[in-house]
Structure 1
Amino acid sequence: MTPLQANCAQCFALCCAALPFTRSRDFATDKEPGTPCRNLTTTHRCGIHPRLRQEGFTGCTVYDCFGAGQQVSQVVFAGQDWRTGPPGHADLMFEVFPLVRQLHELLHYLTEALTLPPARPLHADLSRELTRTEALTNLPPEELAALDVDTHRQQVNALLLHTSELMRAGARGRAKNRRGANLMGARLKGADLSGADLRGAYLIAADLTEADLRGADFIGADLRDTNLTDADLTGAFFLTQPQLNAAQGTQTTHLPPHLTHPPHWPPTPH
């Protein structure tokens, strides 16, 4: 099985070179795609890694490639550095990396779906898509660059949506359907959102303090600066560590067992 956790020691700092970012509260400067970050050293390490938040690069601290970096660096390009490769090598590597990152994110969701008992009727289909997606991550660079990842993503998403429906079958009420909802800054302290469909919901800076989020579907939800203090996310699914890293909370926030409290979360409420 392809590793789905980032191993920066096996990556040529692709996220720091291939991806763009814009000056904002998440990034202190602008950066064009394919241009190495000004803080990147010649040994593919971040020169300000211990001080990223203090230096205005919070966005870097919440990013996760789901293991795509080492897959592209060590497998797809067989350990050939973008700095020293032949002409066009770096451009191709930078083009392939975000595509493989999308595939690895799908692998993450498919792997999780296979652990969910209510989704057992779909396990054969989920396993098939897992195998097919993993095979795509091992294609040669030129084939990956030409891959229609959006179409593949739509096919997998249909299966993940069915998984979500099985997981939330016991949830009742139209209020539970918040798919794609604009809840930015919403005051939802103590709200009962157990079993809610929060797929793609915009929860930026929303107050979910003490909210009941047990068994909710979080795939694609934007949790930047969402206040999860004392919220109960037990049994929440398709919730990723990068989403939590972008949110606010404390060590008293109840999480699914496979996720961890971000180090910047304080031990108790402010």
Structure 2
Amino acid sequence: MKYPGENKRDAILYSSEKSHHNFRADCEKCFGFCCVALYFSASEGFPVDKDAGKPCINLESDFRCSVHKNLSKLGLKGCIAYDCFGAGQKVAQVTYGGHNWRQVPESANQMYEVFLIMRQIHEMLWYLTEALTLQPASHIEDDINFMLNETERLTFLSPEALMELDITAHRAKVNGLLFQTSELVRKKARHGQKAPSRHHKTLGRGLDFIGADLRRTDLRGGNLRGAYLIAADLRGVDLSGADLIGADLRDADLRGANLTHSIFLTQAQINTAKGDCNTKLPISLARPIHWSK
């Protein structure tokens, strides 16, 4: 197969773009797993309190959501934000070969558990696919590619093997590589700045920036892993090279912010934030339709 471009890096970028497409939810090929398998509550932006394993009140017989087109109007932020990274269609069409939980009710609980495991695997695949494209981490490219292939292999295991999988141990291995990648990317993003920002000394995983005005904070190359950025003011902020893995962006104001080269950002995070036509996003993410124009 001939890839666009003339070198290995172009081939990787092209392949990554195609791979990221596979990690986007395709509800037409799923059986409403997220609407059944998960526990959720009305206080978290879902329709009602619901126990795990119980279908949502809005799930129709054809596995479609009866209010999907009106999620924003109804204020169902939990539904807007959720992303299975394509795990739903993988479980429905590959793991169970197109058989749904209504057809084989005796396997329903197993299907739900497998879906939750697959969702974790696909999330790791999303991050590893991105890591492979990041030039500062090119010297650990072989390690990333190996872990990507090993993680991809897990998605084809039988339901029984998936349920026996030590997902915590595998995630630890993946996280180690992602953190290495993050350090390399963030170091390059900070390189060349006129003077080291005092803010970089205080930035670290799990920081509390709830409601904070960060417009004058230099966040380039910042470690925002797991940071609480709920309702934070990030208007016009340059987040190039910032690691946002696991950051809580609910109601964060991203109008005019530059996230083009932010790393480990997901569609679910963006869907919970506020933005506009001037917000710059990574090529792998789509601008939410509910954002202001």
**Residues 27 and 244 of structure 1, relative CA distance in 2, 3 Å threshold:** same
1:204 corresponds to: 230
Deviation at 1:189, TM superposition (A): 2.1
1:45 corresponds to: 64
Task: State the AA in 2 paired with 1:113.
Answer: A
2:254 corresponds to: 228
TM value normalised by structure 2: 0.87
Deviation at 1:29, TM superposition (A): 1.0
* Equivalent-residue separation in structure 2 for 1:37 and 1:48 (angstroms): 11
Equivalent residue of 2:108, what SS? helix
Point out the more displaced range, 126-135 or 77-86.
Answer: 77-86
2:3 corresponds to: none
RMSD value over aligned CA atoms?
1.4
- Map 1:59-208 to 2 at 5 A: 59-87=78-106, 89-170=107-188, 171=190, 172-173=196-197, 175-176=199-200, 177-208=203-234
Deviation at 1:257, TM superposition (A): 2.5
Runs of 4+ off more than 4 Å: none
Task: State the AA in 1 paired with 2:276.
Answer: T
Task: Give deviations 1:35-90, integer Å, cap 9, x for gaps.
Answer: 00000001100011111222232211121111100000111111111011052x00
Deviation at 1:173, TM superposition (A): 4.4
* Equivalent-residue separation in structure 2 for 1:184 and 1:243 (angstroms): 15
How many residues are treated as equivalent by the alignment?
266
Unaligned 5+ segments in structure 2 are 1-18, 191-195
Identity %: 50
* Equivalent-residue separation in structure 1 for 2:94 and 2:283 (angstroms): 30
Unaligned 5+ segments in structure 1 are none
Q: 1:241 aligns with which of 254, 267, 284?
A: 267
**Residues 103 and 223 of structure 1, relative CA distance in 2, 3 Å threshold:** same
* Equivalent-residue separation in structure 1 for 2:105 and 2:212 (angstroms): 51
2:45 corresponds to: 26
Equivalent residue of 1:100, what SS? helix
Task: State the AA in 2 paired with 1:186.
Answer: A
Deviation at 1:7, TM superposition (A): 0.9
Deviation at 1:25, TM superposition (A): 5.1
Deviation at 1:186, TM superposition (A): 1.1
TM value normalised by structure 1: 0.94
Task: State the AA in 1 paired with 2:230.
Answer: I
Deviation at 1:256, TM superposition (A): 2.1
Larger fraction in helix? 2
* Equivalent-residue separation in structure 1 for 2:75 and 2:214 (angstroms): 29
* Equivalent-residue separation in structure 1 for 2:241 and 2:25 (angstroms): 26
Task: Give deviations 1:199-257, integer Å, cap 9, x for gaps.
Answer: 11111111111222111111111101111111122311111111111101111112223
Task: State the AA in 2 paired with 1:162.
Answer: Q
Task: Give deviations 1:127-151, integer Å, cap 9, x for gaps.
Answer: 1101110111111001111211111
Residues 190 and 209 in structure 1, CA contact (< 8 A), matched pair in contact too: no
* Equivalent-residue separation in structure 2 for 1:70 and 1:194 (angstroms): 36
